[in-house]
């Protein structure tokens, strides 16, 4: 659970009167996570939890589930009828409250329409909680950064060990398939004590043109001349995720077009860190949307629009796709500012019928500057002659 003082600090940081939570039947996983509520507790009636910018929180619960929010601090109001619920909610009248509703960032828009309508009818000015949730969940402290860096170190090692596996197979003339590499990745993650919410991506040849490719069975054979895409993300239990992508070429010298595509992709990826440094040096705030727009402009200098199928990056915290700022100006435009402790991926990709390329690093903001996590980032295509 996020502590009430930390939530109140975030509310004050956004100059709001409070944050209004609600849930019904545990449909809103994000609210349960923020408040530390267990999904196995019976929740058959709607409840509200109002955290004011200062003072005691208020729990509004149904008479048959009076103890539902007993793990949370605050005063309690019990209702049994709709009229009693409406009466209890008059406390929000005239207040500017954060709620989990956002017109652009769908993953943070988890309040149901009926509850939003009820809060609004009760006189609350409901505004997006996206900036507030970034402050309470999407920001890494020193411990979170250390956890993220530990995970990143393992991921970089695993990527290189799996590329060695591919290179050794070609050197010995042994057949190798996507599933062989995926199994090795999963074994190495487990050995390092890491967990993930979904298996990594290992995509060879045309499969690399699918940003969310999933290996089926043994997967495709990895053949000479294939572009091979790795995408791997994981964390220590109760830790912070890291998320990286590397690209290899199954030969010693990539074709000129392949090398050019990847070089141009790297150039777009490497727009982000200096852009943040320039903005911070000038004392200017910068948003995830602005950074994505700069990367996208660089990509469009070299690639057709149809090759660019997704945003530049996403927030990272205890969830791989976390609650902090996303580098996104076109899918779910994110106009939140990068704050101290922000952590996010930078993963531009381009995709074609015959192959695809995605290069990914993670950046966090520490002591007012952007830091790339993990080991040495990819600066050229891996090849069978790479060491």
- CATH code, domain with 256: 3.90.230.10
State the CATH number of the domain containing residue 72.
Answer: 3.40.350.10
Domain region containing 57: 4-136
Helix (H) or strand (E) holding 365: strand 361-366
192 plus 69 within the same structural domain: no
| Tokens 């390092």 -> residue | 192
* Residue 200 sits in the same domain as residue 96: no
Of 120, 136, 152, at which residue does a domain stop? 136
Indicate whether 386 belongs to any domain.
no
- 330/220 same-domain check: yes
Total structural domains in the chain? 2
State whether 227 and 341 are in the same domain. yes
The span from the CA of 174 to the CA of 48, in Å, is 61
Tell me, yes or no, whether 387 lies in a domain: no
Do the beta carbons of residue 233 and residue 154 sit within 8 Å? no
How high is the mean pLDDT in each 10-residue block of the chain (387 residues)? 90 97 94 91 94 97 95 97 97 98 93 96 98 95 98 98 97 97 98 97 98 96 98 97 98 96 98 98 97 98 97 96 96 96 98 97 98 95 88
Claim to verify: residue 51 and residue 131 sit in the same structural domain? yes
20 in a domain, yes or no? yes
CA distance 131 to 133: 6
The answer to whether residue 384 is domain-embedded is: no
Q: How much is the pLDDT for 387?
A: 66
- Report H helices in 173-255: 178-191
The C-alpha atoms of residue 65 and residue 193 are separated, in whole angstroms, by 39
Same domain, yes or no: 56 and 158 = no
Say if residues 330 and 292 touch (Cβ distance below 8 Å). Answer: yes
CA 212 to chain centre: 15
Contact 130, 108 (CB under 8 A): yes
Angle at 161 between CA 156 and CA 167, to 5 degrees: 130
- If 0-12 CB within 10 Å is exposed, 13-18 middle and 19+ buried, where does residue 114 land? exposed
The rounded distance, in Å, linking the Cα atoms of 330 and 293 is 8
Q: How far apart are CA 44 and CA 65, in angstroms?
A: 8
Residues 109 and 159 in one domain: no
Within this chain, do residues 207 and 238 fall inside the same structural domain, yes or no? yes
Last residue of one domain, picked from the residues 136, 154, 181: 136
**For residue 386, what pLDDT is reported?**
78
Q: 3-state DSSP helix/strand/coil percent for the chain, to nearest 5?
A: 35, 20, 40
Domain boundary among 112, 136, 160: 136
């Amino acid at each position: 659970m996020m502590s009430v003082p930390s939530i109140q600090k975030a509310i004050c940081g956004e100059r709001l009167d409070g944050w209004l939570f609600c849930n019904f039947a545990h449909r809103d996983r994000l609210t349960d996570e923020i408040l530390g509520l267990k999904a196995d507790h019976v929740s058959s009636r709607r409840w509200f939890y109002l955290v004011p910018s200062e003072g005691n929180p208020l729990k509004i619960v149904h008479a048959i589930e009076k103890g539902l929010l007993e793990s949370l601090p605050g005063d309690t109001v019990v209702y049994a009828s709709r009229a009693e619920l409406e009466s209890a909610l008059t406390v929000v009248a005239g207040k500017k409250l954060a709620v989990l509703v956002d017109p652009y960032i769908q993953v943070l828009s988890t309040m149901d329409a009926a509850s939003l309508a009820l809060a609004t009818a009760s006189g609350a000015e409901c505004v997006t909680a996206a900036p507030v949730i970034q402050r309470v969940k999407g920001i890494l402290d020193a411990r979170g950064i250390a956890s993220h860096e530990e995970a990143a170190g393992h991921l970089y090692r695993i990527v290189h060990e799996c590329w060695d596996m591919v290179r050794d197979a070609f050197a010995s003339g042994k057949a190798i398939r996507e599933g062989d590499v995926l199994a090795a990745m999963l074994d190495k993650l487990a050995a390092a004590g890491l967990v993930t919410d979904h298996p990594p991506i290992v995509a060879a040849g045309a499969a690399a043109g699918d940003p969310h490719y999933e290996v089926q069975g043994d997967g495709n054979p990895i053949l000479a001349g294939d572009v091979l895409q790795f995408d791997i993300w994981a964390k220590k239990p109760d830790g912070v995720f890291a998320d990286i992508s590397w690209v290899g070429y199954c030969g010693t010298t990539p074709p000129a077009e392949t090398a050019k595509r990847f070089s141009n992709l790297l150039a777009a990826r490497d727009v982000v860190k200096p852009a943040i440094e320039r903005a911070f040096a000038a004392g200017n705030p910068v948003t995830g949307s602005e950074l994505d727009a700069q990367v996208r402009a660089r990509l469009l200098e070299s690639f057709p629009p149809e090759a660019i199928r997704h945003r530049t990056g996403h927030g990272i915290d205890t969830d791989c796709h976390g609650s902090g700022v996303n580098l996104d100006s076109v899918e779910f435009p994110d106009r939140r500012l990068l704050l101290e402790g922000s952590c996010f991926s930078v993963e531009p990709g381009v995709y074609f019928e015959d192959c695809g390329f995605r290069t990914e690093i993670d950046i966090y903001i520490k002591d007012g500057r952007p830091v790339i996590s993990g080991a040495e980032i990819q600066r050229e295509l891996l090849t069978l002659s790479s060491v």
